[in-house]
Structure 1
């Protein structure tokens, strides 16, 4: 895959009763925070920006982390936008709406 910037959103929906679902989400965000990939936490999903390889590796690490930590079940909802000829960033899509 090319080395342009892609962006993705990941939403983790734990299906658990062992602790509050937000605790699992907070731990998943810590995995993202430690990855070095640019990210922005939103109320429903976290947006990631980096190369395709970087972003998909972080998504894999989040899922592996939940598995290794014993999360019983979860849904990973992922959206990934790729532009063949250049970078695609969240800022390029939302800048016109910021005041």
Structure 2
């Protein structure tokens, strides 16, 4: 895959009874924070920005973490946007709405 920036959203939905689902989500966000990939936490999903390989590695790390720590079951929802000939960033898509 090319080395342009892509962006993706990841949403983790734990299906668990062992602890509050937000605890699992918080731990998943900690993995993202430690990854070095640019991110923005939202109320429903976290947006990631980096190269394809970087972003996919973070998604893999989050799922591996949940598995290794014994999360009984979860759903990972992802959306990935890739532009063939250049960068695609979250700010390009949202900056016009943030002007005041």
| TM-score in same-fold range (> 0.5) | yes
> What TM-score do the two structures reach when normalised by structure 1?
0.99
Cα deviation digits, residues 18-60 of structure 1 (max 9, x gap):
0000000000000000000000000000000000000000000
Per-residue CA shift, 1:45-76, capped at 9, x if unaligned? Answer: 00000000000000000000000000000000
The unaligned stretches of length 5 or more in structure 1 are none
Counterparts of 1:19-34 in structure 2 under 5 Å?
19-34=19-34
Which residue number in structure 2 is paired with residue 67 of structure 1? 67
Residue 36 of structure 2 aligns to a residue whose secondary structure is: coil
For 1:40, what is the secondary structure of its paired residue?
strand
| Count of aligned pairs | 99
Match in the other structure for 2:9: 9
Moved over 6 A (4+): none
Consecutive unaligned residues in structure 2, runs of 5 or more: none
Provide the secondary structure at the position in 2 that maps to 1:64.
helix
Alignment RMSD (CA, Å): 0.3
